[in-house]
Structure 1
Amino acid sequence: MVKLIKDPVHGYISISDQELRIVDTYAVQRLRRIGQLPLAYLVYPGARHSRFDHSLGSMVLAEEFAKSLGLDGYEERLFKAAALLHDVGHTPFSHLLEQFLIERGSSHEDMGRRIIKEEHELKTSLQETGIDLSDLLRLLEGNHRLSRLISGPVDVDRLDFLLRDSYFTGATYGVIDVRRLIYLTTIEDGEVCVDERGWGVLEELAVARLHSFLNIYFHHAVRAAQLQLLKAVEEAGEELTGMAELSVPEFLELDDYTVWCKLKNNPKSKKRIDSLSRRKLPKMIYEGKGASAPEKFWSSEERRRLEGELGELLNVAPEQVYVDSSIIPPLTKYGPSELAIRVRGGGGRGAARSWILEMTSRPIFIVRAYVERGVGEYNTLRERAENFFKRRGLFSSE
C-alpha cells in the first residue's frame, strides 16, 4: 500500500509501507520540530518549513534520479533512505547551533551517523526494509558511487532546499529547472557527469544558490535574530552548548521547541528570548565583504573577544554588541573542474568552463557588527565600528 503526502514543492509524494516505517520513527519525526531556516520567519513570514519537509523533498528527488539513472531496486531504496536521513543529526535551530558540535570536533553529519548506528527504532526499521546499515553509512560517508548525489555540487540536498526555501520565503532566487538537471545527469566510472545540454541549468543553479545565501540565509536581519538566539544559548550554559557530549537519546530530546522553552525559563537567557518574541532585533552598524578572512576570526572565543574590544570603543556593554562572520561557501570545493561535463558526439568528459561557475566557485566572507537598539547615536557608532575593523585589516563597509 502506498501513502500519499501532498507537498507544495513537488506535488504528491508516494511512500511505501517500508519507507513509512522509517519516516514514522522518532528520530525522523523530530525533524518536524527543527526549522529549515531558523528565525527567518521574522523577515520572511512564510519561512516556517522544517527539516522534515526538506528531507521528504530530498527523498523525492533521489527517486527521480534513481529512475533516470536506471538504478536497481536495492540501490534505489538505499539512495532514497540516505536522502531521507541526511539531516537526521541536525541540532535544534539547524546550522545555527551546529557550531557547538563543530567546536568539539563533531558535525550534524557525524551525529546523524551516530543516530543511525545507535538509535534502536531507526536501526530496526532500516533493517526491516532490507537496507544494509554498512551500505547506508558508506553512502553517507562519501564512499559510494551515489555519495556525490547526496553531498556534492549537484545533489538532492541543495536542489530541494533551493526550491523549497524559495517557495516558502516568497523569494524567487531558487527557481531552477531541477528536472532537466536530473534527466541530463549520468554516472560514468563512478563520477557524476552532467550532459553539456545542462550547462545553462548548472549556471542557473550557481547563481540561484549565491543569491539565496546573500538575500535569504545571510539577510542582515535574519542574522541579527540568529545572533541574539546564539547569545542566549551561550548564556544558558553547558546544558545546551555541550550537546556534542550528549547520548543519542538525550540529543534527540532537543528540538527548536524544547530549546526555546529552556531559554525562556532560564533567567540568564530569558531577556533575549523576550526580545525575539517581540521582534526587537539588534541594529547593524557595520558590514564588509571580502574574498578571505583570518580563520580564527570565526571562532566563538575570538568573536567574544572582538565584541568586548568593540564594545569598549563604542562605550557599549559587550553583551549588547554582536560581531558576526559568515561565509558563502563556493559551489564546488576545488573549483569548476569538480563539475564533469559529458560532451555529446563521443567527445568524452571534460571539466566545466564558465565564467559564471568560476565566479560562484569563490567563497565570500561577510563581516557584520550589531548593537542593541537605543545604546547610542547610530552614525557615531557606525563610524567607530568602521575604523575598528579597518584597523584590524578586515573589510571596508559597502
Structure 2
Amino acid sequence: MFKAVYYHRTVRAAEIMFDRILRHTAVDLGIHQGMSVDEYLKLDDGYVWSKLQELVRSEKLNKNALGLFKMLNSRQLLKSCYEVVRHEIDPQSRIFNNEKVLYALVDSIAEKAKVDPETVFIDTPTLPTIPLNNIVKDGFGLLVYDEKTKSEYDASHISPLTNALSQYMVVLRVYTFANQRETVATAAKSIFTSELISEKVSY
C-alpha cells in the first residue's frame, strides 16, 4: 500500500519533471541557498506556476525546461522503463545518495542507448517507508513484556517478521520519454546488471 501511494510512477514522474524545471529556472524564481522565510513562503503553487508561464511567454526558458513544462502542462509524463526495489536497514549508507554516482549512471545509460543524457532521469525516493520514531536507532522500537520472566524484549529478537517490517523500502527507477522507452530500458538493464556496476554499487 505504501509503495502504491507514495512511490506511484505517475506521482514520481511529475515530481521529477517539476524538479528539473525548477533547477533550470532557480535564478528567475529567486530560489537560492540563503532564502529568507518570507521569500520561501512566497513560492506557493500559484506564484511558481504563473512565473513559469511568464517565462514561457517571454521565451526565457531553455529548450529542455520548456519541453518539460509543455509536457507537464498537457499531462504528458515521463515513462518508467526500469525499476529495482530492495529493502535496507540503513538507507543512509546507499551509494545512490551520492549525486555524482547518479550523474555517472545517467551518462552511462544515455551513452549506451545513444540518447541525450538530458532525456534520462534516475529517481531514488528518500521518504521513510516505516512509521518509526527517528529517535529509535536500533531495533524495531516495539517492546514485548514476558510475564514469566518479568522482562522486556525487543520484538525484532523474537520474530523475523517484525525485523523485516523495520526495514526501509528503497526504490530506484529510470525514466525517459515515451518515444525512446524501449531503448533506454534495454540500456538501463544492461548497465545495472553488469558485473562492473554490481562491484561499484552495492546495497
Q: How big is the shift at 1:277?
A: 1.9
Structure 1 match to 2:184:
381
Percent identity between matched residues is 23
Structure 2 match to 1:303:
102
| Paired residue type of 2:186 | E
Tell whether 2:172 aligns with 1:367. yes
Structure 1 match to 2:25:
236
Residues 1:261 and 1:227: Cα distance change in structure 2 (over 3 Å): same
State whether residues 283 and 370 of structure 1, in contact with CA within 8 Å, keep that contact through their aligned partners in structure 2: yes
Residues 1:221 and 1:348: Cα distance change in structure 2 (over 3 Å): same
State whether residues 342 and 350 of structure 1, in contact with CA within 8 Å, keep that contact through their aligned partners in structure 2: yes
Q: How big is the shift at 1:238?
A: 4.0
Within-5 A mapping of 1:1-398: 211-212=1-2, 214-238=3-27, 242-266=31-55, 267-268=61-62, 269-291=65-87, 295-327=94-126, 329=128, 331=130, 332=132, 333-341=136-144, 347=150, 349-352=152-155, 353-375=158-180, 378=182, 380-391=183-194, 392-393=197-198
Task: Deviation per CA, 1:108-140: give whole Å up to 9, x if none.
Answer: xxxxxxxxxxxxxxxxxxxxxxxxxxxxxxxxx
Distance, in Å, in 2 between the alignment partners of 1:243 and 1:361 is 36
| Paired residue type of 1:222 | V
Q: How big is the shift at 1:256?
A: 2.2
Q: How big is the shift at 1:301?
A: 4.3
**Secondary structure, counterpart of 1:326 in structure 2:** coil
| Paired residue type of 1:276 | L
Distance, in Å, in 1 between the alignment partners of 2:168 and 2:176 is 27
Aligned residues: 182
Distance, in Å, in 2 between the alignment partners of 1:343 and 1:315 is 62
| Paired residue type of 1:282 | L
State whether residues 322 and 370 of structure 1, in contact with CA within 8 Å, keep that contact through their aligned partners in structure 2: yes
State whether residues 303 and 323 of structure 1, in contact with CA within 8 Å, keep that contact through their aligned partners in structure 2: yes
Q: How big is the shift at 1:264?
A: 3.2
Q: How big is the shift at 1:362?
A: 1.2
TM-score, normalised to structure 2, is 0.73
Distance, in Å, in 2 between the alignment partners of 1:284 and 1:337 is 33
Distance, in Å, in 1 between the alignment partners of 2:180 and 2:21 is 19
Distance, in Å, in 1 between the alignment partners of 2:115 and 2:52 is 24
State whether residues 284 and 371 of structure 1, in contact with CA within 8 Å, keep that contact through their aligned partners in structure 2: yes
| Paired residue type of 1:310 | I
Higher RCO (C-alpha under 8 Å, 6+ residues apart): 2
Residues 1:312 and 1:222: Cα distance change in structure 2 (over 3 Å): same
Residues 1:329 and 1:248: Cα distance change in structure 2 (over 3 Å): closer
Residues 1:314 and 1:357: Cα distance change in structure 2 (over 3 Å): same
**Secondary structure, counterpart of 2:172 in structure 1:** strand
Distance, in Å, in 2 between the alignment partners of 1:262 and 1:299 is 31
Q: How big is the shift at 1:235?
A: 1.3
State whether residues 83 and 172 of structure 2, in contact with CA within 8 Å, keep that contact through their aligned partners in structure 1: yes
**Secondary structure, counterpart of 1:291 in structure 2:** strand
Distance, in Å, in 1 between the alignment partners of 2:147 and 2:15 is 47
Q: How big is the shift at 1:243?
A: 4.1
Residues 1:367 and 1:337: Cα distance change in structure 2 (over 3 Å): closer
Residues 1:341 and 1:319: Cα distance change in structure 2 (over 3 Å): same
Distance, in Å, in 2 between the alignment partners of 1:220 and 1:291 is 18
Residues 1:241 and 1:220: Cα distance change in structure 2 (over 3 Å): farther
Where does the alignment leave 5 or more consecutive residues of structure 2 unmatched?
A: 56-60
| Paired residue type of 1:286 | Y
TM-score, normalised to structure 1, is 0.40
Where does the alignment leave 5 or more consecutive residues of structure 1 unmatched?
A: 1-210
Distance, in Å, in 2 between the alignment partners of 1:282 and 1:232 is 13
**Secondary structure, counterpart of 1:284 in structure 2:** strand
Structure 2 match to 1:163:
none
